[in-house]
Homo-oligomer: A and B are copies of this chain.
């Protein structure tokens, strides 16, 4: 259950991934840098799903029979390596997100940046 002020709850996924690695003796491969590279590889696969798509078609990628399963799988893969990476680094991802949202709210006041992509992070 989310704590009242918690933005996310990924505890069960974190535990499932730790168990999955332990069962396969894969902890030895899950060093921080290995996981950063694995995360990068999955983000690369996500890019490959979108690279030749017209802007309009990209909105339908999760509904189109050709790509619906692949895009769900790639989004899941990215999330799983991200949660695993935070886990081995002992970063509380929920707290990190809460803090970053507060920082962003201060950095990009709505009335100053409205409608401008230049004011947006990147």
Contact = CB atoms under 8 A, between A and B. Distances in A.
Contacts of A97: 13, 76, 79-80
What's the number of copies of this chain in the assembled complex? 4
A25 interface: yes
Interface residue SS majority, chain A: helix
Contacts of A28: 115
Nearest to A90: B62
Contact of A73 (B73, B85, B100): B100
A101 B10 CA distance: 14
Contacts of A115: 24-26, 28
Contacts of A18: none
A96 to B, nearest CB: 4
Contact of A52 (B6, B29, B89, B105): B29
